[in-house]
Each structure stands twice: as structure tokens, then as C-alpha cells.
Amino acid sequence: MRGTSERIVQPSEITGTCERLVEEGARLQMAYAWFPEPGGPAEVVYLADRGPHEPFAVLRCKVPQESVCLESLAMRIPLLSWYEREMTDLCGITFRGHPDPHPLVLHEGTHPSMPPLDPRYPTNEPMPYSEQPWELPPIEGSDVQVLPFGPVRADVLESAQIVFYYVGEAILHCHPRLFFKHRGMEKRFEGVDPALGVLIAERISGVDSVAHSLAYCQAVEAASQCKVPERALHLRTVLAELERLYNHLHYLGHLCHTTTLKVGEAEGKLLEERCKKLNGIFTGSRFLRGLLKPGGLRRDLDLQDLPLELRMLEPEIAEYIAALEKTNSHLDRLITTGYLPQQIAFDQGATGPIKRASGIERDLRRDHPYAAYDRFEMAVPMRTEGDAHARAQVRMEEIRNSITLILKALASMPEGPVNVSIDSPRGEEGLGWCEGSRGSIYYAVHFDHAGRVARVKVKSASFSNWRVFPYTVHDTNMMDYAINEASFGLTMAGCDR
């Protein structure tokens, strides 16, 4: 895979190799399987971050067709647990010794005729389903009650079922059941032209359209060894930060909603709306869609007046943030709520503002620069408290930093073209990444010998953070649950891909 340090290992070597990477300071980011040849054996791929400015490590392993079984790493590297369960559901690979060998993506009662990500799986065939009860953890103690919350939830919250085991107001255990609206987005990439794949990528999660499409484009560019023009790199940086800006303002407004700070909610969402309005004025899309393509941008953008608009908005945002930090009724509900220890954040795979609020100072923009981020000095906000307030503070600082980065990128904007043609990436592979508003996003893209997409693996931020979230709910109380969930900024679309 271009741009990575790659190694082919045997099934018996996977456990030891991954453990050595972790001992050396690397962090596993994702694992996935794909079928290089229809009807042939699956290949499992592990991706690890070895540290700032080091090439990503890729481990590849052919799964013997006669066994289709590997040793589970979930007990040693917990964040791989969901990836292994996903591979079992979608690729038919089982993992010996997995601590939670239950379906993850495919709910009980789903009976596909073959693994859904097998290229031979008929795309228009409805997946057979028969209703079966969900197997819940057993209850011990006569006072313990069970509350299934969802999948239809109040307001405009996306579909998810959270099962609470509780006594009075105290939550003993939280068991999330997700993937009610899994859309098979990775399957939709199969067979498409690389240029059309970006349209799928930017629709995986509506609030992270730029981040997803940017990671996808960079994977295609890596595979085709394309050099993107300098002006396009600067414009991509501006667009990514504009997306982060409106997302973080929405986050603060929604967090105020859960603490019943109505004025704070209204003002945060008004500022979000004004940022989206600027997006629409300067790019033609409030959600910044239809702008990126492999090789650069679809068209040039005239952002000459954007600095003036941002400087007019900046003091209002600063005043809003300062007011939130002085509102005791708001702070009282955030401080100590949803505590996430640093070790759990690392082991379970937290990403983005969630991990940075628990003392893990990692950011792809600085550690593995892309677009034009290496041209600018960038601070990485971090807190160690690991609670809802710390998660909000990290985003507050990122709002300030985003405005600064946008202004710097606009001030140094070079002239020149904004796109180049790319060579057909026949039989090639590429890895792309982006630090979205919710955390790290990775795209591994494989092409067939005709230059069409054969497999796309998407590692989204919400998939990682939903796995971490229950660890902050156990031994808390019902009154804080909505605040805690809002403090994570989770989306189901980003998770359900």
C-alpha cells in the first residue's frame, strides 16, 4: 500500500507482530478484510500508527480458505474487538477466543447467503431476515431493573438502542445496540470509477463531508502517485477548518440543550448557522459538498472576502465561549460527568477531542500532515481531566485555532491551478487520512486491474468513539446520561456506514 511500511505475515505471526508494534509505542488504528480475487481467499489488513511523522505500518495476512479462522487480538488490544466482530459479520472470518463473539453489524436473525463483502454477493438480493430475540447479559440482584431506550428516540436523535441496567437513578451497566440503519456504504464503492467514489465518501456522514471526501481523495492520489497543486492544498485546508468550525459550534449549542441552558443553545446554533451561511455564500454548499475530487478541487473558489467575514464573527464566538465558561449552572453539569481515564481511552481506541480531553496528544494534522497543514504552526489543545467539561474545552480551543488556520491559509494562498488529472490506479492501493471534527478518519482504497474501485475500508471517528462511550456511563446516574452522550459528539451515520 503506497505511503506505508508494509509487511506480509502468516496467520500464526499476527498476534506476536501486533503486540511488538504496541510495545514499541505504536497504536493499532483499524483492521479489515477484503477479497483480492472473487472466489479466492480473504486477506486481513491491520493498520498501525507508529508515531508522528513515521510511515503507517500495514500488516497483511492471507486467510486459509480451509479454516477462515484467526486468533483474536481483542483481549490483548481491545480496540480491535469491534473490527474483528465486523469482519465476522461481513467477511465470514471467525476469531478464536474473542471475548464477545456476538453479531455487531448484522443483528440476530440475519442470514446472508454468503459474506456481504464477498464480491460475488448479489447486490440486489434482499438479505434474508427472521425476527429473533436479542441476547442480553443476565441480571443478578432483585433490585436491578432494565430499561431499553430506543431505537426510536426523542427529538431528531439517530436510531440506536441503549439498554440500561440500573437501581434507582444509578446506572450499573450500559449496553448499546447500534447499526439499525447500516447502509452498506463500503459495498457501494465496489466497481465505481475513482472520480465517482468521492460522491459516496462525502455522503457517509453529512456533518463530515469534507473530512471523508478528503481522506478518500488522498487515498486515490496516493495510489496513482498524483501531486496535487499547491493552491488546491491550501483550499482543502480552508474547507476542512470551515467544516470543523460549524461542527464545534453545533456541538456547544447541543451540549447547552442537554444542560437546559436555552440561551446558550440558541446562540451556539445561531453561530453555527452563520458559519454555514458563509459556506453557502463562498462555495455554493452549506455542507461544503461537491468541491473535492481526486487531483484537487472541482473548481476554483473566490475567498477574497472571507477573512473580513471571519474577523467580524470571531469576537462574537469568543464572547459566546467566555460566557459558557462563566455559567455555573452549565459547568456544574459538565465537571466530573462522563469521566474517561487515559488508559481506557488508549486501549479502547478513543479518537479526536475525546482522546485529547483524556490526555492523549495526537492530531493527524500535526503528526501526519496532509493538505497544507505542514506549512503552518499548529497547537494541539489537550486536557487531562477526561470529563464532559474537558471535552468541551478542547473543542473551544479548536474553534479558535480553526479561525487562525483559515486566516493563515488565506493570507498565503498561492495562485495557480486547483486540479490535475490522475493516472488510472490499475491494481494499486492507497491510504488516506484526515483529522475530522470528531476524530481521525482513514480510507484504505484498493483498485482492480481495470482501475475501478475493488474495496474501500472506512475507519470513521464515531465508530471508534461509540465503542469507548459505555465505559463513561457505567456507575453514573440517569440524570447525566444525555449530557454525557452529547459531550462525545457521536453520530450514528458515521458509525453505521
Is there a domain that residue 176 lies in? no
pLDDT above 90 for 419: yes
What pLDDT band is residue 144 in, cutting at 50, 70 and 90? Answer: confident
232 CB contacts (<8 Å, ≥6 apart)? 296, 297, 417, 418, 419
Name which of 99, 101, 85, 95 is nearest 15 in CA terms: 95
Which segment of 42-46, 106-110, 469-473 scores lowest on mean pLDDT? 106-110
**Cis ω on the peptide bond leading into residue 151 (within 30° of 0)?**
yes
pLDDT on residue 158: 78
Whether 434 is in a domain gets the answer yes
Q: How far is it, in rounded angstroms, from Cα 379 to Cα 358?
A: 17
Q: Which triple of cell numbers denotes residue 444?
A: 484504505
**Radius of gyration of the chain, Cα coordinates, nearest whole angstrom:** 22
Cα separation, 4 vs 58, in Å, equals: 7
- The DSSP code for 311 is H
20-29, 59-68, 91-100: range with lowest mean pLDDT: 59-68
Cα(483)–Cα(440) distance, rounded to whole angstroms?
Answer: 23
Q: How far is CA 329 from the centre of its chain?
A: 31
| Co-location of 209 and 70 in the same domain | no
182 belongs to a structural domain: no
Residue 48 above 90 pLDDT?
A: yes
Helices (H) and strands (E) in the chain, counts: 16, 15
323 and 208 housed in the same domain: yes
Q: SS3 helix, strand, coil % of the chain, rounded to 5? A: 40, 20, 40
| pLDDT tens-place string over residues 318-352 | 999 999 999 999 999 999 999 999 999 999 999 99
Task: Give residue for cell 441476547.
Answer: 135
Residue 73 backbone phi and psi in degrees, to 5: -105, 5
Note whether residue 267 is domain-resident: yes
**What is the DSSP pairing of strand 69-71 with strand 292-293?**
unpaired
Nearest Cα to 32, choosing from 45, 47, 23, 48?
45
CB-CB contact of 433 with 442 (8 Å): yes
152: in domain: no
pLDDT of residue 155: 67
Distance, CA of 96 to CA of 478 (rounded, Å): 36
Note whether residue 293 is domain-resident.
yes
CATH classification at residue 69: 3.30.460.80
Higher pLDDT, 161 or 372: 372
Q: State whether 234 and 373 are in the same domain.
A: yes
Three-class secondary structure of residue 458 per DSSP: strand
203 shares its domain with 339: yes
pLDDT digits (tens, 9 = 90+) for 437-448: 999 999 999 999
Amino acid 436 reads: G
pLDDT digits (tens, 9 = 90+) for 103-112: 889 888 888 8
Asked if 205 and 326 sit in the same domain, the reply is yes
Angle between helices 230-258 and 478-488 (to 10 degrees): 170
Are the CB atoms for 465 and 352 separated by under 8 Å?
yes
Overall domain count for the chain: 2
DSSP 287: T
- Residue 155 in any domain: the answer is no
Residues 193 and 56 in one domain: no
Give me the domain span that covers residue 320: 189-461
Amino acid making up residue 265:
E
| Dihedral (Cα; 281, 286, 287, 289), 10-degree rounding | -50
* Percent of the chain surpassing pLDDT 70: 99
The distance in angstroms from the start CA to the end CA of the chain is: 23
Among 61, 96, 131, the domain boundary falls at: 96
Cβ-Cβ contacts under 8 Å for 57 (sequence gap 6 or more) = 4, 5, 6, 7, 21, 26, 47, 48, 49, 50
Q: How far is CA 401 from CA 199, 245, 404, in A?
A: 29, 9, 5
Residues 424-452, mean pLDDT to the nearest whole number: 94
From the centroid of its chain, how far is CA 255? 20
Q: pLDDT averaged over the chain?
A: 92
More confident residue, 403 or 13: 403
The domain that holds 287 is classified in CATH as: 1.10.645.10
